[in-house]
């Protein structure tokens, strides 16, 4: 007899974060629904069972275009290792993401990878998957642009004049997809380097709150965070315009933002050399952050978070005696200048290339 429809359920759910997906699957098992299949990464099929605490993990096994013998054997080796640790393969989706499950065991390892090195290798596999897609779209953009130029200067192509508009729209869409895949690749790479406990402590707790807010000045950001602390929300991590708060006791805190520019200002005032790297075109060298951290901790400040190598946020309890590192006048500074990193460079370069191409085409017309 066929399986009763009440014993199965299908759920559509789209996760960008593998950590959130794993926790959701774990919660489903506690409710008595065990994963059976995943289709297209968004359609989940569950079988009804008694409530049981299962833990899930995910690994991908897509091979490179010209795989080595070691790459081919890697899947078998990892699966054998997983079986020895009590994991079983549940299913895999079309993207070659393999879902593994095992009963939760108190006091034992409940993750497929328990070492930073193994987690880093998996993170790089996922990041590489997205980078391959970015490269594909870039080559497609180049091809479309070349075709557009050929059509534009070829005689007798008036009937396909629409291709110019099509190529502009297509290239714009591809560039947007490139940005999305870059963002996803970096997201996967960052979270998969963490253990599930580490990720949960930072982002997955029920008392965590994410807030998107555009704050342009350093002083404005510090006042915003001080107000949230008074409401009982304390910042734990940050992005350019996104802040992660944990719920706690209301308190009086002071916040301080430091940047490379401000660190170099202090260095100049002290008669020391500034941090400058002629080969650091994108501003990735973080030597200044090491110096900033030393000075801040010596002055009584506590590290909160950093955005790339652009700025660092510190905090201290009000009345703790923490000494500000920078002059008050710098609080009026525009933090958006220091907030953006490689993406700003990418946009500027694209704009310059577009201006040059536009100038050449205009001169030839």
pLDDT bucket at 348, cuts 50 / 70 / 90: low
> Each residue of 237-292: pLDDT tens digit?
877 788 888 888 899 999 998 988 899 999 999 888 888 877 766 667 788 999 99
In angstroms, the first-to-last Cα distance of the chain is 75
High-pLDDT (> 90) share of the chain, %: 35
Place of tokens 């916040």: 255
Element (H, E) at 172: helix 162-192
Query: Distance between CA 85 and CA 222 in Å, rounded?
Result: 48
> Each residue of 183-217: pLDDT tens digit?
999 989 999 999 988 888 777 666 778 888 888 88
Would you say residue 295 has pLDDT above 50?
yes
pLDDT bucket at 316, cuts 50 / 70 / 90: very high
Instruction: Look up residue 56 and give its two tokens.
Output: 């899930």
User: Given this model, what pLDDT does residue 202 score?
Assistant: 74
Counting other chains too, the contacts that 171-179 makes at CB distance below 8 Å and 24 or more residues apart are: 171/141, 171/144, 171/145, 174/137, 174/138, 174/140, 174/141, 174/144, 175/137, 175/141, 175/350, 177/133, 177/137, 178/134, 178/137, 178/138, 179/343
Judged on CB neighbours under 10 Å (0-12, 13-18, 19+), 336 is middle
Nearest CA among 149, 65, 68 for reference residue 358:
149
pLDDT bucket at 365, cuts 50 / 70 / 90: low
Find which of 58-67, 168-177, 336-345 is predicted with most confidence, using mean pLDDT. 168-177
> Each residue of 95-136: pLDDT tens digit?
888 999 999 998 888 999 988 999 998 999 899 889 988 999
User: Given this model, what pLDDT does residue 243 score?
Assistant: 86
Query: Distance between CA 220 and CA 301 in Å, rounded?
Result: 19
Q: Is the separation of the CB atoms in 295 and 266 below 8 Å?
A: yes
**Cα–Cα distances in angstroms (integers) from residue 205 to residues 20, 23, 52, 209, 358, in the given order:** 11, 11, 22, 9, 50
φ, ψ dihedrals at 108, nearest 5°: -115, 175
User: Given this model, what pLDDT does residue 6 score?
Assistant: 74
Would you say residue 2 has pLDDT above 80?
no
The mean pLDDT of 58-82, rounded to a whole number, is: 82
User: Given this model, what pLDDT does residue 154 score?
Assistant: 73
Mean pLDDT of the chain: 84
The mean pLDDT of 64-78, rounded to a whole number, is: 80
pLDDT bucket at 356, cuts 50 / 70 / 90: confident
Would you say residue 338 has pLDDT above 50?
no
What is the DSSP secondary structure assignment for residue 64, as one 8-state letter?
Answer: P
pTM above 0.75, yes or no: no
The mean pLDDT of 73-82, rounded to a whole number, is: 86
The mean pLDDT of 310-339, rounded to a whole number, is: 80
153 vs 25, residue with greater confidence: 25
Q: Is the dihedral of CA 97, 101, 107, 109 positive or negative?
A: negative
pLDDT bucket at 1, cuts 50 / 70 / 90: very low
Domain edges within the chain: 5-112, 117-196, 205-264+283-340
Please report the beta strands in the chain, taking only residues with DSSP state E, as ranges in sequence order.
Answer: 8-12, 33-39, 43-48, 54-60, 88-92, 97-103, 208-212, 233-238, 242-247, 253-259, 302-307, 311-317
DSSP 257-297: EEEHHHHHHHHHHTTPPP---TT-TTS---HHHHHHHHHHH
């Amino acid at each position: 007899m066929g399986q009763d429809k009440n014993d199965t359920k299908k759920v559509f759910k789209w996760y960008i974060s593998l950590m959130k997906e794993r926790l959701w699957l774990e919660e489903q098992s506690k409710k008595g629904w065990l994963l059976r299949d995943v289709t297209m990464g968004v359609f989940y099929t569950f079988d009804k069972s008694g409530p049981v605490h299962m833990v899930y993990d995910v690994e991908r096994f897509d091979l490179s275009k010209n795989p080595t013998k070691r790459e081919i054997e890697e899947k078998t080796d990892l699966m054998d290792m997983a079986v020895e640790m009590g994991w079983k393969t549940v299913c895999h989706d079309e993207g070659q993401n393999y879902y593994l499950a095992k009963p939760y065991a108190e006091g034992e390892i409940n993750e497929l990878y328990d070492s930073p090195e193994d987690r880093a290798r998996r993170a790089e596999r996922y990041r590489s998957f997205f980078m391959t897609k970015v490269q594909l779209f870039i080559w497609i953009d180049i091809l479309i642009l070349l075709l557009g130029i050929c059509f534009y200067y070829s005689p007798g192509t008036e009937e396909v004049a629409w291709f110019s508009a099509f190529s502009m729209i297509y290239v714009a869409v591809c560039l947007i997809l490139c940005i999305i895949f870059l963002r996803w690749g970096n997201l996967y790479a960052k979270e998969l380097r963490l253990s599930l406990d580490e990720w949960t402590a930072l982002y997955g707790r029920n008392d965590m709150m994410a807030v998107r807010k555009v704050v342009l000045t350093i002083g404005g950001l510090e006042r915003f965070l001080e107000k949230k602390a008074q409401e009982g929300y304390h910042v734990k991590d940050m992005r350019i315009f996104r802040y992660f708060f944990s719920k706690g006791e209301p308190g009086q805190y002071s916040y301080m933002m430091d940047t490379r520019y401000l660190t170099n200002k202090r260095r100049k005032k002290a008669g020391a050399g500034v941090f400058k790297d002629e080969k650091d075109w994108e501003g990735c060298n973080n030597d200044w952050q090491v110096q900033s951290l030393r000075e801040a901790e010596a002055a009584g400040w506590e590290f909160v978070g950093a955005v790339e190598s652009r700025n660092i946020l510190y905090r201290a309890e009000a009345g703790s005696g923490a000494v500000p590192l920078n002059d008050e006048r710098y609080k009026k500074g525009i933090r958006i200048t220091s907030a953006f990193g490689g993406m700003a460079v990418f946009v500027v370069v694209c704009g310059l290339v577009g201006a040059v191409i536009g100038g050449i085409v205009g001169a030839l017309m």
